[in-house]
Copies of this chain bind each other. A is one copy, B any other.
Amino acid sequence: MGNIEIIGLHGLPEFDISHDLPKLIYESSLSSTGGIKSGDVIVVTQKIVSKVEGMVRDLLDVIPTSEASELADKLGKDPRLVQMILEQSSEIVRTDFDRGVLITESIHGFICANAGIDSSNIEGDTKIALLPRDSNASAKKILKDLKNLSGIDSIGVIISDTFGRPWRDGHVNFAIGCAGMSPYIDYKDTIDAVGKVLKVTTIAVADELAAASELVTGKSLNIPVVLIRGCEFKPEGLVEESLLRPKENDLFR
């Protein structure tokens, strides 16, 4: 009663641009857990979305500018990688030359290391994956196809990626895209256990679901998608909601 299950979807391939991701997710949901039920949330790791959307690049094709080369030299990074990071960034937020850390605001608005570019789980020593161009749109497309395939209307889809955080060591998964559900649950104006009206608390439920999904996707290299059953979410509103805090409300830029 009220419990939640995080179910790994099995049998998915090494993805590339030739694959129909929603169809494969749907088929795997059938064999892994009897299909998608109303209220399920599907969390998809960013890397396979990037692969299917053709966001893999080869550093052999990249010619770094002198700006990228100078910065790469200070950071101890590959100049071609730094070139790609700069192309995927709107602003450099912090650098730490001693530790080779480059934190930028990505063109998508995420403040993270290396504009979200990484090279794990990609064939080829010089291959890298960029973030999807628009992860909310990616989630919407997956949602649309999953609804059609399953005939279920109430499904949430989240694209997750791994982030570092200020002040706290270690990485966690957060949501970079979301569809079919609001990324928030709002406890405002609900009554707490002792009858007081709760004043805070807007919970970033999409981030909590992404974090929860990593507990399963991180355990196996072959499970890039999970189905979460039993959680509550609000349907998405008419206005697109973003988990990104507006710059003018941020005290740590």
Instruction: Quote the shortest CB–CB distance from A236 to chain B (angstroms).
Output: 15
Give the residues from 110 to 165 in chain A that come closer than 8 angstroms, CB to CB, to chain B: 110-111, 118-123, 125, 162, 165
In the assembly, how many copies of this chain are there? 2
User: Do B215 and A209 touch (CB < 8 A)?
Assistant: yes
Pairwise interchain contact A6-B8, C-beta atoms closer than 8 A:
no
CB contacts (< 8 Å) of A76 on chain B: these are: none
Tell whether, in the assembled complex, residue B120 and residue A216 are in contact, meaning their CB atoms are under 8 Å apart.
no
B203, A172: Cβ atoms under 8 Å?
A: yes
Q: Mark A161-202, 1 if CB is under 8 A from B, else 0.
A: 010011111111110000000011101000111101011111
Known: A198-B120, A214-B208, A218-B187. A168 touches B243 (CB 8 A): yes
Specify which chain B residues have a CB less than 8 angstroms from the CB of A192 in the assembled complex: 120-121, 221
Task: Tell me if A231 counts as interface (CB < 8 A to partner B).
Answer: yes
Q: Mark A208-240, 1 if CB is under 8 A from B, else 0.
A: 110110111011111100001011100000000
Q: Are B6 and A251 in contact (CB under 8 A)?
A: no
A245 / chain B contacts, CB cutoff of 8 Å: 166-169
Give which listed residue, B3, B14, B183, B219, contacts A194 with CB less than 8 A.
B14
Q: Which residues of B contact A191 (CB under 8 A)?
A: 221
Q: Are B193 and A170 in contact (CB under 8 A)?
A: no
CA distance A42 to B100 in the complex (A): 37
Q: Which of B171, B194, B203 contacts A214 (CB 8 A)?
A: B203
Please report the C-alpha to C-alpha distance between residue A220 and residue B190 in the assembled complex, in whole angstroms: 11
Whether B212 and A215, one on each chain, are in contact in the complex, defined by CB atoms closer than 8 angstroms, is: yes
Q: How far is the CA of A110 from the CA of B167 in the complex (A)?
A: 8
- Beyond A167-B245, A215-B208, A245-B167, is A1–B10 a contact (Cβ under 8 Å)? yes
Give 6 nearest A-B pairs by CB, closest first.
A170-B204, A212-B212, A166-B252, A211-B211, A94-B251, A193-B221
Which residues in A have some Cβ–Cβ distance to B below 8 Å? 1-8, 10, 14, 94, 96, 99, 101, 103, 110-111, 118-123, 125, 162, 165-174, 183-185, 187, 191-194, 196, 198-205, 207-209, 211-212, 214-216, 218-223, 228, 230-232, 242-245, 249-253
6 further A-B contacts with Cβ under 8 Å, apart from A118-B200, A120-B201, are: A4-B216, A14-B194, A120-B192, A167-B245, A172-B203, A193-B221
